[in-house]
Amino acid sequence: MRAIAAPVWALLLLWARPSPGLAQAMPFHMPTALPLPLAESSVRVLYQHVEMGSLLLDGREVANPDRLRVGVDAVALMVPHGVTPHTILMAGIPYLRKTVERSGSRRTSAGLGDAFLVVKQELLARDFVAGNRRLALFAGLGLPTGETEGNGALLPPPLRLGSGTVDLTGQLVYSYVNDRSGVHGAAAYIAATSAVDGVRVGDRFRYDAAVGYRIFPAAYRSLRDVSLAAYLELNGTVERVATQGDERLPDTGGRTLMLSPGLQLIPLPNWAFDASLQLPVLRDLHGMRLGQDWSIAIGARTVFFPFGP
């Protein structure tokens, strides 16, 4: 069971300030290709809880007599910076608390996870009366700052606070917005650059699709209008099996697909709050594994206006 990877945090929602043309619901678990105004003055904080308690055998739920459970609480701080009008640099780090329960016993680990850097490069921008279109490339780097050892020994994978390796991510994202609605699609490849204790985790392919709709207002009268929007995402992952030397390791690799509905509230021009519930649609995991049952995430973003909104 792999620790939450830092690049995943980096590829969360990367826009910070709503505007009348772009204030549809933005996806929560995937990035948007839409522009990020005032990037040098914004900050985002995200809390997420992930619950894993279903024991799966080749994707089928089986009895869990030892009551094995893993819970992850994470708080991520992300700060973007506008390098050029078409290039955004984001840095961040999560604080993690991981809990493993088995047969009534409990073990926890807590601390900073893997720091990350992400560059967003806009490739295509087309603005029309019938809608705005954007295509962007994201390149991410996860740094092994999270602890992987305790008392001089390697921690079990569910308790590790970092991946232990430098992880590389490349992702292509397309976004289309037309008045109150928007659609987004993304494809990403995530790879570790080395092994940990002789084990090399499998590369992962991520694919995402999302739709959003602004519930109110139907039309903006000013930048200070309060808005509420809803969105729905599909978040999929295909992971290759891990290897040790030339040997393929059991109980690794597989496919997952998550359904993620959410809401987004913008009460002020420089504040946005959003929340998302994530539920499994597909948990086709190889071997005997714990599967994710659900997760909930709550985020807050703000922009600091040097000269007023």
Identify each DSSP E strand in the chain by its residue range.
Answer: 42-57, 60-61, 69-84, 87-102, 105-112, 116-128, 131-142, 149-150, 153-154, 167-178, 181-192, 199-200, 204-216, 227-239, 243-244, 247-248, 254-268, 271-285, 288-303
CA dist 133 and 279 (Å) reads 29
CA dist 275 and 264 (Å) reads 7
Is it true that the peptide bond before 217 is cis, omega within 30 degrees of 0? yes
Which pLDDT belongs to residue 209? 97
Which residue ranges form the domains of the chain, and what is each CATH number? Answer: 6-303 (2.40.160.40)
CA dist 139 and 12 (Å) reads 13
Low-confidence ranges of the chain (pLDDT < 50): 1, 3-23, 306-308
Residue 157 φ/ψ, nearest 5 degrees:
-50, -40
pLDDT digit string (tens) for 227-262?
999 999 999 999 999 999 889 999 999 999 999 999
* Count of CB atoms situated within 10 Å of the CB of 300: 13
pLDDT digit string (tens) for 153-179?
888 889 999 999 999 999 999 999 888
Which pLDDT belongs to residue 11? 39
CA dist 263 and 277 (Å) reads 9
**Residue matched to tokens 């994530």:** 278
Which pLDDT belongs to residue 67? 95
Which pLDDT belongs to residue 18? 39
Which pLDDT belongs to residue 171? 97
Which pLDDT belongs to residue 5? 40
Whole-number Cα distances in Å, 183 to 1, 170, 179, 221 = 32, 21, 12, 24
Spatial contact of 133 and 126, defined as CB atoms under 8 Å apart: yes
